[in-house]
Amino acid sequence: MGLWLGAVLAGIFVAMALLSFVWTPFPYAAMDIAQKLRPPSAAHWLGTDQFGRDVAAQLMVGARTSIAVAIVAVGIGMGAGVPLGLWAAATRGSWIDEVIQRGGDLVFAFPSLVIAILITSVFGPSAVNAILAIGIFNIPVFARVTRGGAISLWTLDYIRAARLAGKRGARISVEHILPNVANLLIVQGTIQFSLGILAEAGLSYVGLGAQPPTPSWGRMLADSHTLMGLAPQLALFPGLAIVLTVLGLNLLGDGLRDLMDPRLRRQA
């Protein structure tokens, strides 16, 4: 049941982002000072902000930013982390494994938010730098998950059989290990995806993520901060969008894990 709820929530969010390319209730950047800070109405479903911009339109376009940042950040994490994890497992106990593992520990020792802020401040605030900052911290996460799953597979007899068939580490990793850790990676991917959305919102909230005029849920919240007393609904909708999206992705991830774990499936 969680799987379906999650799929529906995440699906709505993706559909919203895709729809925004062809249609939004209002042009998302169109200001109308006469209509500023309106509560939800038939014309403006979710009301307007302090410049009279349509909140619903901004939320839809903001979903694009969140998806883009999270997808690329997960892509960076998987792209670098999975090969590193496979390599570490294939050379278990060697200095390569040690360096990869300790390197991961080291990245984990850095407070991620601080480093993200550092990176964006040295290289300038932008969505691209936010992606990089979030993506770098995804690398050791995927490396660890991959290595952990791969290590237990390497002890199995089918790996010995593959070696008897003359196959070496790289080929075994691709043919035998990767397909069998894929379910772990999918689950971790959805988790990191939702964490990426949270991180992007946080960075944008402090002004270091996507820059105006690109709409972003985090910056909508930051803009609403000073208006909390005046128009609390402005703080409500972007926050709800984040919560529902992340909730949906997490439910989806848990559901996929249960679906792919044969032990759990049999009980269900």
- Of 24-32, 64-72, 83-91, 232-240: span binding other proteins (CB under 8 A): 232-240
Residue among 71 and 198 whose Cβ is closer to other proteins: 198
Tokens of 13: 């969010």
Return the residue of 242, 252, 255, 256 that touches other proteins, per CB under 8 A.
242
The answer to whether 22 contacts other proteins (rule: CB under 8 A) is no
Return the residue of 23, 95, 229, 268 that touches other proteins, per CB under 8 A.
229
Between residue 55 and residue 114, which ones bind other proteins under the rule CB under 8 A? 102, 105-106, 108-114
* Contact between residue 91 and residue 97 where contact means Cβ atoms under 8 Å apart: yes
Return the residue of 35, 48, 66, 250 that touches other proteins, per CB under 8 A.
250
CB of 123: closest distance to other proteins in angstroms?
8
Output phi, psi for 214, to 5 deg: -60, 120
Could you tell me which residues come within 8 angstroms of residue 11 by beta carbon, excluding any fewer than 6 positions away?
248
Residue among 24 and 141 whose Cβ is closer to other proteins: 141
The answer to whether 14 contacts other proteins (rule: CB under 8 A) is no
Give the torsion sign (CA, 40, 44, 49, 52). Answer: negative
Window 164-183: contact mask with other proteins (x via CB under 8 A): xxxx-------xx--xx---
The answer to whether 117 contacts other proteins (rule: CB under 8 A) is yes
Count other Cβ atoms within 10 Å, centred on residue 260. Answer: 14
The answer to whether 198 contacts other proteins (rule: CB under 8 A) is yes
* Contact between residue 139 and residue 110 where contact means Cβ atoms under 8 Å apart: no
The answer to whether 151 contacts other proteins (rule: CB under 8 A) is no
H-type helices in the chain, by residue range? 2-22, 55-90, 95-109, 112-123, 127-154, 157-164, 169-172, 178-205, 217-225, 233-260, 262-267
The answer to whether 42 contacts other proteins (rule: CB under 8 A) is no
Residue 113 CA: distances (Å) to CA of 65, 190, 208: 19, 20, 11
Taking the C-alpha atoms of residue 171 and residue 48, their distance in angstroms, rounded to an integer, is 56
Return the residue of 206, 211, 258, 260 that touches other proteins, per CB under 8 A.
206
Angle at 48 between CA 44 and CA 53, to 5 degrees: 100
The answer to whether 268 contacts other proteins (rule: CB under 8 A) is no
CB of 54: closest distance to other proteins in angstroms?
21
CB of 93: closest distance to other proteins in angstroms?
11
Count other Cβ atoms within 10 Å, centred on residue 173. Answer: 24
Interface ranges with other proteins (CB under 8 A): 102, 105-106, 108-115, 117-119, 121-122, 156-158, 160-167, 175-176, 179-180, 194, 198, 201-202, 205-206, 221, 224-225, 228-229, 232, 235, 238-239, 242-244, 246-247, 250-251
